[in-house]
Copies of this chain bind each other. A is one copy, B any other.
């Protein structure tokens, strides 16, 4: 599904962030991680935080510069910390996902360093810039958190446009007859124990009916309520 998409971490400082990014990708079904000139090569802290995504780390090509990491790509997206830092074609996350899921281009998504994000020359190597709409008063997204959001949006869109199995409606097995029988039972029992005034039975019953309909009971729950009422009935006969 995502074989044509690689995530490229550019000049990352902390190996821990590389590990967390690998884990974030893998949870969303993305597997192609590329590193450009990391300040420190992935180490034990990266592997620890990858938490089972160390296969992505081990397979990640390490490039000396950005050019080499995107040489064979035909569509390059740059994650930009600020909206419209350069006057450049912009996509929002939804537009990005829609584009990437229908293209057969080889795609690179670039994430800049923790401290300063992508530099202007790096941003200028991109076809589009994408900005994650964080709170302007605190926009300090962690690198792995940004990777997690982008990977999630891709997966979320893929699941929405893909064929997803429908969950069957549990309420569908309860007929109107079942509900009427249950309400009759409530009426009989609650009249016997004088919760319902036989002169004005409808009000309490109507309130119960509204509550039970709203709950969309399943057949087992109908059975449970009958058995509770039966226990009360028996008590009344003692």
The answer to whether B212 touches A224 (Cβ under 8 A) is no
A84: nearest chain-B partner, CB-CB: B167
Which stretch (A26-34, A35-43, A98-106, A119-127) binds chain B? A26-34
Bound complex: CA A87 to CA B170 (Å) = 10
The answer to whether A195 touches B142 (Cβ under 8 A) is no
> Which B residues lie within 8 Å of A133 (CB)?
155-156, 159
The answer to whether B145 touches A24 (Cβ under 8 A) is yes
The answer to whether A142 touches B207 (Cβ under 8 A) is no
A217 contacts partner chain B, Cβ-Cβ < 8 Å: yes
Q: How large is the interface on A (under 10, 10 to 19, 20 to 34, 35 or more residues)?
A: 35 or more
Contacting residue for A29 out of B28, B135, B144, B156, CB 8 A: B135
Bound complex: CA A236 to CA B232 (Å) = 9
Contacting residue for A145 out of B144, B227, B235, B236, CB 8 A: B144
A215 contacts partner chain B, Cβ-Cβ < 8 Å: yes
Min Cβ gap A158→B in Å is 10
A217: nearest chain-B partner, CB-CB: B211
